[in-house]
Amino acid sequence: MPDLIVQGVTKRYGRIVAVDHISFTVRDGELLSLLGPSGCGKTTTLRIIAGLTRQDEGKVLLGDKDITGLPPEKRGMGMVFQNYALWPHMTVHDNVAFPLRARGMPEEEVRRRVTEALEMVKLYELRDRYPHQLSGGQQQRVALARALAVQPKILLLDEPLSNLDAKLREEMRFELKELQRKLGITAVYVTHDQAEALALSDVIAVMNAGRIMQLGTPKEIYEEPANTFVADFIGKINFLEGYLEEILEGGYVLVRIGGLYLKAYTRRIREKGPVVVGVRPNHIRIAVKKPEEDQVNVLEGTIIRRTYLGETYDYRVRVTGDLVLRVEGEESYDAGSRIFLVFPAEKALVIERRK
């Protein structure tokens, strides 16, 4: 299958720029997630790819073929909508068959494709039921089967799991990724759920205000965020504003934060100046005695709040003045306890601070 290429796509609604000159490539067999908050332009981008919304600038290509001017039905794409868009008066079989019949496909071929698609999503035995007789997860799989039945070159998914409860959503993530890998189909997935994007994606495009803030693998996005927006949007994080005072050997730097000094590691910033240090709560270890370890930062603080989360506790710890850090731990410590926060220098993310 050819790569999907989006080149300089822009969409305006009056003075509002919904999508602002974005470009990316989805390689054959990859799943790329468009991740961002509501209103960032991710669904508009998906609709432009599908041909349901016309852009003001830019192109959409499949390999070397420009499909910008083609109508949706001639782009060879299948789309799964957020609300599933199932016909309530049609059975599961007829819902999946609908787009095939609309294309004038012979009924024998329609039956074959519907059977294959329903077997893929493990719903063949429910083919004679109506949507209201299905659970939310089953309805989602019917919508997926309908998209797959047309044998699309590209599969487009617009927050298809957002209407499911947390446990079912997690189960469907696994099923969806396994099916995508099995079929080897190229997919673009829209979501505002960071965990979903990390679990499903080969590549993530983090969007904000119509622009792509960072494009990379889940590991790159999480461990080497390009800016504070990306760092904050992908998982929990503590931000500490400071000044990079010294460049050390081996990629390490020394950052002054008020009266504190932190050692950090960065491949991006090699000049002195204002920076933000980001430390994720799960990278911070709590100790009751001050450890003497190399290559770690040790901060002394007081627990001001403890929240039980089941497998872990969420702590708010005042280190100095107004500086409060969020920490996760398996053991229970009471509010008011004096503790030490320990984290490796390489887990302290150094991000440029805009002046």
Other beta carbons within 10 angstroms of residue 327's beta carbon come to 26
**pLDDT for the residue numbered 1:** 67
In the structure encoding, which two tokens stand for residue 55, read together? 């852009």
Return d(Cα 109, Cα 34) in angstroms, integer.
34
**pLDDT for the residue numbered 295:** 65
Mean pLDDT of the chain, nearest integer: 90
Kind plus residue range of the DSSP H or E element containing 194? helix 194-200
DSSP H helical segments within 121-191, as ranges?
136-149, 166-183
Other beta carbons within 10 angstroms of residue 263's beta carbon come to 18
With a cut of 50, list the residues of the chain below it in pLDDT. none
First to last CA, the chain: 46
pLDDT in tens, 134-176: 988 888 889 888 988 888 889 999 988 887 788 878 888 888 8
**pLDDT for the residue numbered 354:** 65
**pLDDT for the residue numbered 294:** 67
Query: How far lies 148's CA from each of 100, 138, 173, 196, in Å?
Result: 11, 15, 17, 21
Phi, psi (rounded to 5 degrees) for 316: -110, 120
What one-letter code names the amino acid at 291?
P
Q: Which residues contact 329 (CB under 8 A, 6 or more apart)?
A: 285, 286, 312, 313, 315
pLDDT in tens, 49-105: 999 999 999 999 999 899 999 999 889 898 888 777 889 999 999 999 998 998 889
Put simply, whether the predicted model's pTM sits higher than 0.85 gets the answer: yes
**pLDDT for the residue numbered 321:** 76
Return d(Cα 353, Cα 351) in angstroms, integer.
6
80 touches 158 (CB < 8 A): yes
